[in-house]
Amino acid sequence: MCGIVGYIGKRSGTKVVLDGLEALEYRGYDSAGIALIDGEKSQVFKEVGRVSGLIKTISKQSDVSAPLVMGHTRWATHGGVTAENAHPQTNNDQTIFVVHNGIIENFSEIRTKLEASGYNFKSQTDTEVIPNLIDFYLKQLDSFEAAFKAALADVRGAYSIVAISVREPNTLYAARLSSPLVIGVGDGEHIVASDPSAIMDHTKKVIYLEDYDVAVVTAEKVQVQNLKDHNRIEPKVELLDFDNEQAVLGDFPNFMLKEIFEAPATIKTATLGRARADTGTVKLGGLETVLRQLKHIERIVIVACGTASYAGLIGEYLIEELAGIPVEVHLASEFKYRDEPFSRSTVLLAISQSGETADTIAAIKKVEDFGVLRLGVVNAVGSTIARMTDAGVYCHAGPERAVASTKAFIAQVTVLALIALHLSDGKHPQFKPLLKELEALPAKAQAVLDSAEDIKKIAEKYANYDSFLYIGRNISFPSALEGALKLKETSYIHAEGCAAGEMKHGTLALIDENFPTFAMATDSPLLEKTYSNIQEIRARGGPVVAIATEGNKAIKELADDVIYIPKCEEELQPILQQVAAQLFAYYIASKLGRNIDRPRNLAKSVTVE
Ligand code: M6R
């Protein structure tokens, strides 16, 4: 989390950096700051709150143009949300400025060492040790570059760092380890940022830094050295093939609603040129290079976090049913610390919207030496996970701005269905029906969206409950888990997902008239069992909202409120259920006046462990 932007060039970088920070605000939004260096003159501005507050403060200043500028939007890890803890952090002399994303795990040890040498600390951040450590080494070494590298050699943890100094007004220093940084290459200027969205309005040419890379950046040149092998690297300039257009709000009040309404287009784009019902084919270009290896898979281990992990659980049902390959889904944050038996016939499949999630990256790194095939289902093109996996399938959902993942989940499940169909080699009886269903799905998702007003009325009725249970069976069970996550992260209402058949083993004790249940009750061979579970809830006075298949009249007798979705093959029902569940969560959060796109305490891209 945290967004970083740095500018060096022939024009003033202030606006470039502030615009970039706004584009990166999804990464953290509790405070923001900026440092400007023009010759020997430096200025620092910091504000608690959103980047817009910082922009307001800066707009009142008379002279804020500078050719060397860097900024930061923070998601607090160490130290509260205060101006002192906001970045840039500086050394005691206020000559060196640093912005940082990640965590310096041994900061307290370094701080003690620096305090013994006479350094004082004003913040509670881990970051403040970095400018002081650079300062410490600068007194012993002959250049800023050498001091910067010496400081990096002392720190443990994860970081992307940008450092500037009044002693070097023509240079910007950047480094990364397990946290993303990309450099935009412009005409007589360079822009360093946490991700390309802060750059792409200025240039499409970018250099991605890799782990242990240190970049020395001037207006004209980028020099990169890898600290692990000490080689100077010829930076590889790549071309971005996407733009910021999709990240514009249009007539929608916020990105979450806009992104929910993009479900039909998302399904179309994810399947476009990949699946065809008329020819009965599934072609996944991103897997072409590993087709031979895919023939010998004996097990798939899916690693992911949050919403992506629930998409992964749905993928487990799909792949096991259609392709007959055993699948395990691991939360990436747990996977990296387990002793997991791995053979070369196991494939690791990482799912991530951002492609930058630290836990998922660590899970992929864990198997680096096992010689297993690493696949990715990633949305952000060119992201770290997209680049570190051997092959994969892009979600192509376009930028997702709201912290709550909506259209990315729809795309992930669609792509996992394609992968399952691909691995089935067309042999499963559901192969053709599912290909047909995938073609029909955008219109069906649109039909759910067309009932948004009805869903809103139901949601508003339930906005004042403190807790919610989400239930489902079979492939609708992970859908229930995802529904619960969506409600809690957007509305701050406690919600938990439970397999409908598991309730009686404990969770049912929670149910009374103040504890409503959201039941996934769409058509399935297990529907009657779900009815029984709904009866058990009703018998204890629990209100029930059910998602059911159009035409199901019986459910009206059972549930207090029903949200209908079109008839759909069971394997793909979670997609339609989630369009409805996302709207339900959205309208409750909206009724409660929550910050829809930026829920408290969260960030879009979780780049710390
Ligand atoms: O970018 P990723 O898909 O790797 O992110 C994983 C989770 O952090 C993410 O899905 C998170 O749970 C969302 N806030 C859910 O809406």
Per residue in 153-210, pLDDT (tens digit) is 999 988 999 999 999 999 999 999 988 899 999 999 999 999 888 999 999 999 999 8
Is 375 near ligand 1, meaning CB less than 6 Å away? Answer: no
- Report yes or no: 11 and 197 within 8 Å, Cβ to Cβ: no
Atom number of ligand 1 nearest to Cα 403: 14
Is 308 near ligand 1, meaning CB less than 6 Å away? Answer: yes
Count of H helices and E strands in the chain? 19, 27
Atom number of ligand 1 nearest to Cα 360: 4
339 torsion bin: left (phi>0), alpha (psi -120 to 50), beta (else): beta
Identity of the amino acid at 80: G
| High-pLDDT (> 70) share of the chain, % | 99
Q: Helix, strand, or coil here: 530?
A: helix
| High-pLDDT (> 90) share of the chain, % | 86
Task: Specify the pLDDT at position 191.
Answer: 98
Task: Specify the pLDDT at position 244.
Answer: 60
pTM of the model: 0.81
- Report yes or no: 24 and 3 within 8 Å, Cβ to Cβ: yes
Least confident of 43-52, 223-232, 255-264: 223-232
Q: Best mutation site among 353, 356, 487, 602 for ligand 1, i.e. most ligand atoms within 8 A of its Cβ?
A: 353
- Residue nearest to ligand 1 atom 8, measured at CA: 306
Pick from 518, 523, 513, 521: which is nearest to 545 by CA?
A: 518
Looking at residue 404, what DSSP letter applies? S
Give the residue with greater pLDDT, 605 vs 496: 496
Is 194 near ligand 1, meaning CB less than 6 Å away? Answer: no
Q: What is the pLDDT of residues 449-481, one digit of tens each?
A: 999 999 999 999 999 999 999 999 999 999 999
The C-alpha torsion from 78 through 79 and 84 to 87, rounded to 10°, is 20
Task: Specify the pLDDT at position 245.
Answer: 57
Task: Specify the pLDDT at position 158.
Answer: 85
Element (H, E) at 69: strand 68-74
Task: Specify the pLDDT at position 568.
Answer: 98
Contacts of 495 (CB under 8 A, 6+ apart): 467, 468, 469, 470, 483, 484, 485, 487, 488
Is 384 near ligand 1, meaning CB less than 6 Å away? Answer: no
pLDDT range class, residue 351, cuts 50, 70, 90: very high
Per 3-state DSSP, the chain is made up of helix, strand and coil in percentages (nearest 5) of 40, 25, 35
Say how many Å lie between the CA of residue 489 and the centre of ligand 1.
Answer: 11
Architecture of domain 248-445: 3-Layer(aba) Sandwich (3.40)
Task: Specify the pLDDT at position 242.
Answer: 63
Is 307 near ligand 1, meaning CB less than 6 Å away? Answer: yes
**Domain boundary assignment for the chain:** 3-240, 248-445, 451-595
Task: Specify the pLDDT at position 564.
Answer: 98
Least confident of 187-191, 232-236, 343-347, 437-441: 232-236
Contacts of 576 (CB under 8 A, 6+ apart): 441, 444, 445, 448, 522, 565, 566, 568
Atom number of ligand 1 nearest to Cα 353: 3
Is 578 near ligand 1, meaning CB less than 6 Å away? Answer: no
Architecture of domain 3-240: 4-Layer Sandwich (3.60)
Task: Specify the pLDDT at position 381.
Answer: 84
- Residue nearest to ligand 1 atom 9, measured at CA: 306
- As a whole number of Å, the CA-based R_g of the chain is 25
Say how many Å lie between the CA of residue 385 and the centre of ligand 1.
Answer: 14
d(CA 609, CA 607): 7
Identity of the amino acid at 444: K
Strand order in the sheet with 205-208: 41-48, 31-38, 68-74, 3-9, 189-193, 182-185, 205-208, 238-239
- Residue nearest to ligand 1 atom 4, measured at CA: 352
Q: Best mutation site among 195, 405, 413 for ligand 1, i.e. most ligand atoms within 8 A of its Cβ?
A: 405
**Equal fold, 3-240 vs 451-595:** no
Element (H, E) at 595: none
**Domain 451-595 classified CATH 3.40.50.10490?**
yes
Active site residues: 2, 604
